[in-house]
Amino acid sequence: MIEAEGLSLFLGENRILKDVNFRLEEKALILGPNGSGKSSLLKVLSGFYRYKGSVKIDGKELMRDVRGYTELSTNLPEAYYLARDVDDLISIYSEIKGSDHETFLKMMEETGVNFKKRSLFSLSLGERTLTLTALAFSSKPKVIAVDEPFENLDKNRKKIVIQWIRKYGKEGFIVTHEIGLLKEFDTWKAYLMIEGRLYGPVTIIDLMSSKLVKGRRDDSLLELKIRQEDYSLIKEEGEENEILDLNHVYDYI
């Protein structure tokens, strides 16, 4: 289980995450506009930043009690700066995280990416996304912190990654801007990150047929603050184009 209580993150002068609270025992998506703090939350979970408040994984405070936690895996590029080429990376990660070489090779074969003797940063953007995500999942982690796994991918490669996300990891967050793919995860829950605050969870099926209205409402699924104004996410029964409605949510933020 991953849980956060009163989690805040300061970078330089700025408070990037503001009193974030959640308790997660499954995989969930995080949606939200650019610069809202999604990747920063994944970086906190991956141990890159010191934070204020509490973040626990399986009851252990991340910053204090967790050293060399191997159950969590991320595709954040910062985790993979170590090596000369992708072959080196998988060797290093086999050693320190128990990544399985065979699983990685099989995943890469599915994608058709030729990574042999290639540095991560010589790969195309889509190839790099696939390689980082395969590296993250090849340790068969319990906890995942996956950032934009569909970025720069073509339609077929997105389908492959959807299968990986369904298969790997028991709990954790997947950050995405791909609202067109939400229906693939309709039984999952989602959180919204807005201005450093995390709202949710709300089921994706509800989210896909919701709209955002100004003010507080008794029937709201979520109450949000955007630029210091109150908004409510409410269910819009019988809407024909759910995805457009979710886009509408983005119109406000």
Ligand X SMILES: Nc1ncnc2c1ncn2[C@@H]1O[C@H](COP(=O)(O)OP(=O)(O)OP(=O)(O)O)[C@@H](O)[C@H]1O
Shortest distance (Å) from residue 16 CB to ligand X: 4
Q: Residue 248 corresponds to which tokens in the numbers above?
A: 């509408």
Which is nearer to ligand X, 147 or 171 (by Cβ)?
Answer: 147
Which is nearer to ligand X, 11 or 125 (by Cβ)?
Answer: 11
Shortest distance (Å) from residue 177 CB to ligand X: 6
Shortest distance (Å) from residue 207 CB to ligand X: 17
How far apart are alpha carbons 193 and 172 in whole angstroms?
15
Shortest distance (Å) from residue 36 CB to ligand X: 4
DSSP, collapsed to helix, strand or coil, labels residue 109 as: helix
Please answer whether residues 209 and 235 qualify as being in contact, where contact means their C-beta atoms are separated by less than 8 angstroms: yes
Which is nearer to ligand X, 14 or 187 (by Cβ)?
Answer: 14
Shortest distance (Å) from residue 247 CB to ligand X: 16
Please answer whether residues 138 and 100 qualify as being in contact, where contact means their C-beta atoms are separated by less than 8 angstroms: yes
How far apart are alpha carbons 107 and 134 in whole angstroms?
6
Which is nearer to ligand X, 90 or 192 (by Cβ)?
Answer: 192
Q: Point out which residues bind ligand X (CB under 6 A).
A: 11-12, 14, 16, 32, 34-40, 193
Which is nearer to ligand X, 193 or 207 (by Cβ)?
Answer: 193
Other C-beta atoms closer than 10 Å to the C-beta of 80 total: 20
How far apart are alpha carbons 167 and 251 in whole angstroms?
33
